[in-house]
């Protein structure tokens, strides 16, 4: 009974923490929308509108009301699923985002798989080979991935692997020839083309996603490698590792079965944060590759002062990180029984 009560208190505390975080996010989003140096009314009516038209729209938006009333009107609209209409597209903002977000999720998912598959083994090797040539090479490799601007590596990658060698596709999610051939069911082009049996489209989409995903994955792997190396060095110096070696366990068993098993929980957080950063920070790579995703939509909205779109994008980014934290907590319980 005592354990059940503790679990219930823990669940309630976690739920309350999520609600407080979400409410703070809503306040932050609302404040950002009000302090941005743009005039939402002027963006709607245009520069040549009369004062009468301007004031009518000003009142329709509720900007003549006190700030606290504007905030509650904002909450009311969100509760009904009304995120406003985009000035740029003339469509509901949530409809635009649901169309753009799958492209970024697809790109970021490929990138984080590459980053984790590359970063974790390299980090472990760097820790095991500390201060040897392998460690130095891996650290230089990570430093380059962390230091090189992603837009520069994107342009170099296009020049070398697309223009010169022809190994990958160019800009966009697929070749122009295949646009409109696959029904947009999920928004994930690889899944939709595979379900539809359009394997030519699938191969084209795969050729186009490989290069931007590899560049983003390399950038993420630099962070994952450094953190994995740090975590592993801390574990390798522990007494239980020395004991395992004295008992005659091989280095492979000692490193992967014992030392690595104790850093899995920490790596979950690192990979989740890296994935969240990819989802909200792929703006430059999407611009270089003309990738019609969430980052490019946010950039275009900021450029013209489309505040409904900007505020909703900020809210979506916050919700992404809250969701990733919840998933991380669940994975903690899977990997570490002591947290159950």
Domains of the chain with bracketed CATH: 2-79 (no CATH), 93-339 (1.10.3720.10)
- CA separation for the pair 22, 318 (Å, rounded): 8
> Residue 274 burial (CB < 10 Å; 0-12/13-18/19+)?
buried
H or E element in which residue 124 lies: helix 93-128
H or E element in which residue 14 lies: helix 2-35
pLDDT of residue 2: 55
Backbone torsions φ then ψ of 317, nearest 5 degrees: -60, -45
Lookup: tokens for 328: 């991380």
- CA separation for the pair 82, 308 (Å, rounded): 10
> Which residues fall within 8 angstroms of residue 322, CB to CB, at 6 or more apart?
18, 21, 22, 25
CB atoms inside a 10 Å sphere around CB 32: 14
Contact of 235 with 263, CB cutoff 8 Å: yes
pLDDT of residue 325: 79
* β partners of residue 85: 92
- CA separation for the pair 89, 92 (Å, rounded): 8
Three-state SS for 326? helix
Contact of 276 with 325, CB cutoff 8 Å: no
pLDDT of residue 6: 59
CB atoms inside a 10 Å sphere around CB 250: 11
Contact of 225 with 142, CB cutoff 8 Å: yes
CA distances to 34, 154, 260 from 284, rounded to whole Å, are 26, 9, 34
pLDDT of residue 261: 81
Profile the chain (340 residues) by mean pLDDT over runs of 10 residues. 57 68 78 70 69 75 74 81 79 88 91 92 90 89 84 88 87 82 85 88 91 91 91 84 75 80 84 84 82 85 78 83 80 64
CA-based nearest residue to 295, from 101, 98, 38, 111: 101
3-state helix, strand, coil in the chain (%, to 5): 80, 0, 20
- CA separation for the pair 295, 313 (Å, rounded): 9
Contact of 142 with 250, CB cutoff 8 Å: no
Contact of 276 with 320, CB cutoff 8 Å: yes
> Which residues fall within 8 angstroms of residue 120, CB to CB, at 6 or more apart?
224, 225, 228, 267
pLDDT of residue 5: 61
């Amino acid at each position: 009974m005592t354990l059940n009560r503790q679990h219930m208190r823990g669940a309630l505390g976690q739920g309350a923490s999520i609600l407080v975080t979400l409410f703070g996010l809503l306040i932050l989003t609302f404040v950002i929308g009000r302090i941005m140096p743009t005039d939402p009314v002027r963006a709607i009516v245009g520069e040549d509108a009369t004062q009468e038209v301007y004031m009518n729209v000003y009142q329709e938006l509720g900007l003549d009301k006190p700030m606290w009333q504007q905030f509650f009107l904002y909450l009311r609209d969100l509760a009904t699923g009304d995120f406003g209409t985009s000035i740029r597209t003339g469509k509901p903002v949530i409809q635009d985002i649901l169309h753009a977000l799958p492209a970024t999720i697809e790109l970021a998912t490929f990138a984080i798989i590459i980053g984790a598959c590359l970063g974790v083994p390299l980090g472990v090797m760097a820790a095991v080979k500390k201060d040897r040539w392998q460690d130095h090479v891996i650290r230089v490799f990570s430093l380059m991935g962390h230091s090189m601007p992603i837009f520069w590596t994107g342009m170099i990658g296009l020049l070398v692997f697309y223009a010169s060698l022809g190994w990958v596709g160019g800009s966009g999610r697929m070749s122009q020839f295949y646009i409109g051939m696959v029904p947009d069911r999920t928004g994930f082009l690889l899944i939709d083309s595979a379900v539809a049996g359009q394997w030519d489209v699938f191969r084209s989409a795969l050729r186009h996603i490989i290069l931007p995903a590899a560049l983003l994955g390399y950038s993420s792997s630099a962070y994952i490698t450094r953190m994995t190396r740090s975590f592993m060095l801390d574990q390798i110096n522990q007494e239980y590792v020395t004991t395992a070696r004295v008992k005659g366990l091989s280095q492979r068993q000692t490193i992967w079965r014992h030392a690595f098993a104790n850093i899995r929980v920490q790596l979950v957080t690192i990979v989740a944060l890296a994935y969240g950063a990819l989802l909200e920070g792929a703006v430059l790579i999407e611009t270089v590759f003309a990738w019609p995703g969430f980052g490019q939509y946010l950039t275009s909205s900021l450029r013209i002062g489309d505040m409904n779109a900007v505020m909703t994008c900020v809210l979506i980014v916050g919700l992404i990180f809250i969701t990733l934290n919840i998933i991380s907590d669940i994975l903690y319980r899977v990997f570490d029984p002591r947290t159950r």
